[in-house]
Structure formats: C-alpha cells, structure tokens
Amino acid sequence: MKDIQGNSQRKRFVAEQAAQLIQNGMVAGMGTGSTVAFLIEALGRRVREEGLTFVAIPTSFQARIACARLGIPLRDMQDTSRLDLAIDGADEVSPDLDLIKGGGASHTREKVVAAMADEFVVIVDESKLVERLGASFAVPVEVVAGALGYVERRLRESGGQPTLRTGSGKDGPVVTDNGQLIVDVRFPPTVDLRQADQAMHQIPGVVETGLFFDMTDKVLVAASGPGGPTLRTLAKKR
C-alpha cells in the first residue's frame, strides 16, 4: 500500500530544504508539480518572515497562480534569457541524473527554464529514483494538435506505444499551457532512450519530449529515516 502521508511529508521536507537555496536578488525558475507546490509555499513564508527578495520565473499557470497568491514577484519567461537557479521536480531520476518529466504536462516550458539556469536543481522523494528511465513512467511528448495522427504513426513505426493523455474532470485530451496535446509513449526496455529522444525530435509536429539528458546539476532526495525524513544530495559527475 502506498504511504501517501509519508510521501507528502518527504516532499514537504525536501522542498523546504531547497527553499534555502534561493538568495536575495536571484532570478529563479519555479517548476510545476506537487513537490514544487511545497517549495513555493516555503518561499512565500521566507518572503513574509525574512524579507527575502527574488524574482520567480514560473513554468506553468499553476506555478504562476501559486506564486502570485503568496506575494512572490514574477517575471515571464520571454522577458529573460538567463536564470541564477531553477528548481523543479521529476517523475523519474536515473543514476546519471537524467530525468523523465512531464507528468504535469509542463515539460516543454520546464526544459526551457532548466536550460536558462546557471544551476538546475531537482527535488524528489526516494520513490522517483530508478535504475533505468522508462521503467515505470512513460515518456511524455508534447505534440502539435493537427499533427497528432502523423506523430502517433511515426512513434509506432519507431517501436513506441503512444497513448493520447486524456483529462480528469473534463472530456477529451489534456491541453498544455502551450495549447498542444500530450502523448505518453512507452518503449521496450531494449530501446536506447537517448537515441529515441533524438529521433522523436526529428518528427515534424513534435514540440518537445519529457526526456532531460545532461541537464541536471544536483538532485536533492528525501529519504525515509527512523526519526523522519533525511536529505541526500546527488551531484553531477564531473
């Protein structure tokens, strides 16, 4: 049985640790998802209680609304080209610190923000660590709506099994903040995902994939301990 309460506790713990990375004067990317929601909450508290001054670049409407409600100053992605730091969650983290992201359908904007940042830090609980990407999570692919049929055919021809992501609480497919669709693609374990990623980027109509290769500088991992959550830091091999 999934430990929902413990999982939430670990997410809050690692988010509060990551909130300490933000310093006065920074311009920082804010990712999307349940762990980042705790991060934004912790940063809002620092703004109120410590007078922390920084500017957040949100990767989704969800992150923008959360920051605005807590009084965190905002700037649009298109109004900057460089960030001091970006912090985000992940759906899977490999031993090489490569990622699958996009469970929240925001991976295109998240990848742009991660690329802008001088340092990209990922915050997860230990359940997100995997030996091989794609072991438990499909690869999200953002697709131009009009190209859906063509892209799905090309993905099947390449050995993938695409599934159009449908909405919860609404009829029809999930529509991203960019106005496009999400196809979740499963690949056999024998497929080299780095090569598959390169191939998917050559398909007209593919906007971006949720595979993040060679982008992560550091991963903060919340693990279970006898006295509560503990923090483990995984750094990129130099």
Positions marked catalytic:
110
Whole-number CA gyration radius for the chain: 18
> Which spans in the chain are helix H?
4-19, 34-50, 61-69, 107-116, 148-157, 193-200
Could you tell me which residues come within 8 angstroms of residue 61 by beta carbon, excluding any fewer than 6 positions away? 177
Give me 116's structure tokens.
């802008």
CA distance 42 to 119: 20
Task: Give the DSSP letter of residue 8.
Answer: H
Cα separation values, 116 from 20, 78, 138, 232, Å = 20, 11, 26, 25
Count of C-beta atoms within a 10 Å radius of residue 131? 7
> Which spans in 53-178 are helix H?
61-69, 107-116, 148-157
Could you tell me which residues come within 8 angstroms of residue 45 by beta carbon, excluding any fewer than 6 positions away? none
